Chain A
């Protein structure tokens, strides 16, 4: 089973700071997902990637397949970015449907 590790577990930043959240996994994957979960439980998919880099507004996600590592960056952070960010992977080259999740990184952005 894939072990998905995220760091840090908790992160506090001041508004405007550049944020980096890291994710590493132990077994080859077909895709990696970054998800955002706000208090109250709703989960929103931010990115799905299998190579390289994707950008969406102030969010950037990168993945290094050889190193089994991904990062989520938030530029010019804002209090509304406060949420739990979860990394999840589809295991194996055959593309397992189910996701294996990290425990999440709780981000708090103070004004």
Chain B
């Protein structure tokens, strides 16, 4: 089956615009994660879903960031009123089970550039 897919792969937004980033996890995977990776840094946790429930959103940097997974499959990360510091690669990952210690499968990422 297909891996994790993300769209768009690249997004350029003017400061102040809203953006929506999509993640299609591997079919049947219970857990879905969003990470943010700044240039030259390791990824940092943003938020996590188990099925449709958002269990942890402690990594979201501000209330401009919002994520949803309404049917427990596809997820969307929305950033309102984008700022230059939001420029980063946004990675989505999914895993099969609900508890820690399971392998995560990563998508190719969406590179967001805010001008």
Contact = CB atoms under 8 A, between A and B. Distances in A.
Given A41-B89, A41-B109, A43-B91, A95 B101 contact: yes
A100 B108 contact: no
B42 A30 contact: no
Nearest to A87: B42
Q: How large is the interface on B (under 10, 10 to 19, 20 to 34, 35 or more residues)?
A: 20 to 34
Interface residues of A, number: 29
Interface stretch (A12-20, A58-66, A72-80, A101-109): A101-109
**Chain B binding surface SS class:** strand
Given A97-B31, A98-B45, A98-B48, A45 B105 contact: yes
A70 to B, nearest CB: 14
Interface of A: 4, 30-31, 33, 35, 40-45, 48, 50, 86, 88, 90-92, 94-104
